[in-house]
């Protein structure tokens, strides 16, 4: 914290001249044996460091390293004052802590004026624009010894600049990555833009092949701004264009297996393509997945190099035909679902009937009927009395019994 580091590499390739700016990413590609490479490292402290910082710098692949111990000198050596210093207008004052302490009767930053010259028109002319009649020092400072001493955030020879009028980024003057001078942001290392809002780093614009924005755009603020017709984070896609997988599918098939639409003239149609068979332990998203005409699954990787396009093909076993299994599975699933619905319906009807019957039996057992005669009921038996029958005057007949002796 408090220290910004910027790198610049000078690879000294034959294509670059000695005075050309280096790579600000601190990288060199395709370095040959015994090739000299220069790395320029810039350290900038934004404020005084409470203690020394130790930095270790090294290049990847090398065991040597450079150790840098960084100190910041923020205090002046004020213990040794220099009386009548030549710096203060040939002895017109004492130099202490880098400031001239003027002798009596002398004024100015370097004690270059006397009090008798304060109202001299020649001195005031130095604090006003040529042939101007405006206020001294643009009304933003005091005129001392023919020079303007600006106040507040004004600067310039006549205090004509406002050092608080620069553009802001996210509410911060110059984005916090620069200082405002006369309405213009002066950015720190690796920052650019009117408000120092952009980083000069191009790490997010570098395509896997090493080019910026795939050669179809410009890198601004570490983001690709694509040309018309191209899109994507790296401008590697275009409207109406085939993807690399679609573009090199036929060449990969004919070069690796001798089949496909280009099998008859594969060498002529794919002259700039080098097809090699390779086994990759892991297949990431960069590999293309295609099938041949005989349903053979294969993968291939498209690589761009100085020798042209390289296709690394990984053959796979012939894929099995699962059409019949899928059809049977679908039919079986439909039948199973239908049977399940029928059984569920029958089960619900059976449960409902049992509940209704149980409720009927319960109500029947709770009934208590009262027994009574129907007033409209007539018996089927009729009794008729004979009026001539005299049942009360019955004559008893007695017959004499005679017992004979033996």
The pLDDT value given to residue 401: 46
Examine the pLDDT at 339 and tell me if it is beyond 90: yes
Average pLDDT over residues 349-378: 82
Q: Which among 128, 132, 178 has a CA at the least distance from the CA of 156?
A: 128
Of the pLDDT bands very low, low, confident and very high (cuts 50, 70, 90), residue 244 is confident
Of the pLDDT bands very low, low, confident and very high (cuts 50, 70, 90), residue 128 is confident
Which burial class, exposed, middle or buried, applies to 184 when counting CB atoms under 10 A from its CB (0-12, 13-18, 19+)?
A: middle
Give the three-state DSSP class for 203. Answer: helix
Q: Which residues touch 235 (CB under 8 Å, ≥6 apart)?
A: 213, 214, 215, 216, 217, 224, 226, 227
Of the pLDDT bands very low, low, confident and very high (cuts 50, 70, 90), residue 351 is very high
Q: Are 153 and 182 in contact (CB under 8 A)?
A: no
Of the pLDDT bands very low, low, confident and very high (cuts 50, 70, 90), residue 17 is very low
The pLDDT value given to residue 342: 93
Give the three-state DSSP class for 384. Answer: coil
pLDDT top residue among 99 and 10:
99
Fold of 93-161: Laminin (2.10.25)
Of the pLDDT bands very low, low, confident and very high (cuts 50, 70, 90), residue 338 is very high
Give 27-61 pLDDT, tens digit per residue.
777 777 777 788 888 888 888 888 888 888 888 77
The pLDDT value given to residue 343: 93
CA 67 vs CA 45, 53, 58: distances in Å: 17, 10, 9
Average pLDDT over residues 233-243: 81
Parts of the chain belonging to CATH 2.10.25.10: 93-161, 163-198, 202-241
Average pLDDT over residues 375-385: 81
**Vertex 41: Cα angle to 60 and 9 (nearest 5):** 60
pLDDT top residue among 207 and 228:
228
Average pLDDT over residues 248-269: 85
The pLDDT value given to residue 402: 45
Window from 21-25, 198-202, 402-406 with minimum mean pLDDT: 402-406
**Confidence (pTM):** 0.39
Q: Are 94 and 101 in contact (CB under 8 A)?
A: yes
Rounded to whole angstroms, the Cα distance separating 274 from 122 reads: 82
Q: Taking the CA of residue 399 as centre, how many other CA atoms within 13 Å lie in the half-sphere pointing to its CB?
A: 3
Average pLDDT over residues 124-149: 82
Average pLDDT over residues 176-183: 88
β-strand pairing of 161-162 with 154-155 = antiparallel
Parts of the chain belonging to CATH 2.60.40.1510: 3-70
The answer as to CATH 4.10.1240 being correct for domain 244-318 is: yes
The superfamily CATH assigns to domain 202-241 is Laminin (2.10.25.10)
The pLDDT value given to residue 15: 44
pLDDT top residue among 105 and 314:
105
The superfamily CATH assigns to domain 3-70 is ntegrin, alpha v. Chain A, domain 3 (2.60.40.1510)
Rounded to whole angstroms, the Cα distance separating 237 from 214 reads: 9
The pLDDT value given to residue 22: 52
Average pLDDT over residues 143-171: 86
Give 71-84 pLDDT, tens digit per residue.
888 776 676 788 88
Average pLDDT over residues 116-128: 73
Examine the pLDDT at 85 and tell me if it is beyond 70: yes
The pLDDT value given to residue 77: 64
pLDDT top residue among 280 and 221:
221
Q: Which CATH architecture has domain 163-198?
A: Ribbon (2.10)
Name the range with the highest mean pLDDT among 27-41, 81-95, 271-285: 81-95
Mean pLDDT of the residues in the chain: 79
Tokens for 94, please give them: 């004492």
How many other β-carbons are positioned within 10 Å of the β-carbon of residue 112?
20
Examine the pLDDT at 406 and tell me if it is beyond 50: no
Tokens for 207, please give them: 């395509």
């Amino acid at each position: 914290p408090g220290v910004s580091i910027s790198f610049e590499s000078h690879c000294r390739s034959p294509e670059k001249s000695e005075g050309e700016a280096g790579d600000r990413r601190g990288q060199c590609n395709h370095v040959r044996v015994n090739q000299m490479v220069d790395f320029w490292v810039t350290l900038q402290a934004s404020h005084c460091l409470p203690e020394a910082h130790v930095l270790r710098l090294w290049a990847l692949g090398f065991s040597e390293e450079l150790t840098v111990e960084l100190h910041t000198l923020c205090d002046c050596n004020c213990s040794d004052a220099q009386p009548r210093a030549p710096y203060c207008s040939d002895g017109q004052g004492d130099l202490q802590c880098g400031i001239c302490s003027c002798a009596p009767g002398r004024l100015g930053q370097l004690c270059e004026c006397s009090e008798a010259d304060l109202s001299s028109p020649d001195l005031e002319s130095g604090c006003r624009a040529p042939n101007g009649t405006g206020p001294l020092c643009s009304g933003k400072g005091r005129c001392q010894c023919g020079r303007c001493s600006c106040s507040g955030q004004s600067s310039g020879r006549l205090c004509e600049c406002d050092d608080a009028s620069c553009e802001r980024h996210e509410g911060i003057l110059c984005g916090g990555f620069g200082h405002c001078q006369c309405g213009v942001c002066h950015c720190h290392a690796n920052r650019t833009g009117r408000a120092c809002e952009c980083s000069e780093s191009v790490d997010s614009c570098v395509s896997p092949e090493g080019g910026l924005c795939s050669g179809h755009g410009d890198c601004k603020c570490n983001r690709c701004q694509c040309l018309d017709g191209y899109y994507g984070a790296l401008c590697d896609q275009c409207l109406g264009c085939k993807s690399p997988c679609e573009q090199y599918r036929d060449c990969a098939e004919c070069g690796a297996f001798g089949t496909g639409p280009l099998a008859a003239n594969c060498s002529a149609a794919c002259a700039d393509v080098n097809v090699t068979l390779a086994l990759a332990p892991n297949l990431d998203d960069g590999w293309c997945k295609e099938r041949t005409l005989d349903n053979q699954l294969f993968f291939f990787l498209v690589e761009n190099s100085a020798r042209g396009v390289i296709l690394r093909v990984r053959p796979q076993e012939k894929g099995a035909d699962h059409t019949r299994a899928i059809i049977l599975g679908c039919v079986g699933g439909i039948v199973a679902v239908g049977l399940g619905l029928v059984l569920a319906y029958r089960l619900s009807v059976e449960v409902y009937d049992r509940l209704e019957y149980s409720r009927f039996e319960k109500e029947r057992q709770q009934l208590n009927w009262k027994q009574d005669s129907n007033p409209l009921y007539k018996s089927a038996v009729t009794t008729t009395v004979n009026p001539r029958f005299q049942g009360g005057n019955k004559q008893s007949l007695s017959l004499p019994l005679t017992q004979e002796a033996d």
